[in-house]
Amino acid sequence: MKLWGGRFSEDTNQLVLEYTASISFDQRLFPYDIRGSIAHARMLGQTGILAPHEARAIIDGLESLLAEYEAGKLAFRLEDEDVHMNVERLLTERIGDVAKKLHTARSRNDQVALDMHLWARDAVDELLAGVKRLERALLRAAEAHLDVIVPGFTHLQRAQPVLLAHHLLAYVWMLVRDERRLRALRDEIDLMPLGAAALAGTTFPIDREMVAEELGFTRLYENSMDAVSDRDYLLGLLFNCATIMTHLSRLAEELVLWSSEEFGWIELADAYATGSSIMPQKKNPDVPELVRGKTGRVYGHLMGLLTVLKGLPLAYNKDLQEDKEGAFDAVDTVVPALELMAGTIETMKVRRERLQHAFARDFSNATDLADYLVRKGLPFREAHEVVGRLVADALAKGTNLAGLTLEEMRARSSLIGEDAYEALDIARVVEARQSRGGTAPSAVRLQLALAKEAVEGQG
């Protein structure tokens, strides 16, 4: 007998039951459903809606169910459709008909909204912990490589030299922004929907503030229809997950490139790499590759929920059942991705000896030679053309700018003197960018200190 079956005279078609049931995935909300139900029962007893002994029996029964769930001893039934009705059936079997009074002054509509708020709050805390670990891993890697210069890229073409620490810190700042957005989202989640019932509230004299306080909410929904239909906070959660995965995917792409023999900047630890079933020499960057690949599924979950919500009339509709699987999977994808990327960064080895030769045939100091000519009085656009011609000369000669003789360079501009070779020195080029946010070691050390402050200042 369905808990809602009083007006029905036929059994539910089996395929309908299988298609509409959510217990296969919403059973993970069981601890939250129990917590919400305990708070609701306590309030019902406190307000006199239930007798004190009835409220006490319900609370004791719910607590015993939670203990069995945590011990892995509970079995759920498809016939009960969802986690809420499974809880009610299990509770009724345990304590008898008094369990049927638990649903007084509430609906599954505000009940599931409450469960998802409680779950989302914990999900944000998990994400914050993962972001924090990766931030700290990148900070340590940056600090350990303040003396390592690498080519910087635009369009995946060599552009200008930078410190490896400067490159890694760019990802720290991305994650700092992720962390700030997550903290703002946690504040958005801090709304208690219980008490909205199906959509119009309840005629019982409930105390919503009491329930909110017990469950750790500081604010209430002020509109009952909004309370049961709002999924903005889940859109926010999915957007945050998608943005984090964007940042992880960009970092993953660089780790894949850097660990290739063509780059050879880093070597991944054996614990964070895999091998080939046929090629004995292979060491594959499967962790960053999978992070890069799983980014698409998280994007899909965000687009999926946006599409579910775009045409829904108020208030609750069964479509909203589609909010859960995507949200669960997105968090289940991002949390281990953060953990694994942190481990990859913590254990990778930077191949300093390989990077010492990174600029042997390199033109990433070309802009600095143009700046040298500007300081000699040449307009920048003319300096740009002179250096472009010198690059072509060097390429024809099979060398770089520093490999040209002074006479060869002066043939393009009489402003070039012996001191031009100082402008071409890679270490000097990096050192010259002293301004805040620049690539000089002093500027990067300042940035590192500011990044540490930002990371630790956010808890």
Q: Which ranges of 99-191 does DSSP label H, i.e. alpha helix?
A: 108-144, 164-189
CA distance linking residue 233 with residue 188, whole number of Å: 6
Name residues whose C-beta falls within 8 Å of residue 398's C-beta, 6 or more positions apart in sequence. none
3 state DSSP class of 349: strand
C-alpha separations of 419 from 188, 375, 409 in Å: 59, 12, 12
Would you say 44 and 105 are in contact if contact means Cβ atoms under 8 Å apart? yes
Catalogue the active-site residues: 155, 276
- Backbone phi, then psi, for 239, in 5-degree steps? -65, -45
| Residue 253 neighbours by CB distance under 10 Å | 15
Nearest to 193 by CA among 120, 293, 302: 120
Name residues whose C-beta falls within 8 Å of residue 101's C-beta, 6 or more positions apart in sequence. 44, 50, 54, 58
CA distance linking residue 113 with residue 194, whole number of Å: 8
- Two tokens, residue 74: 């509970």
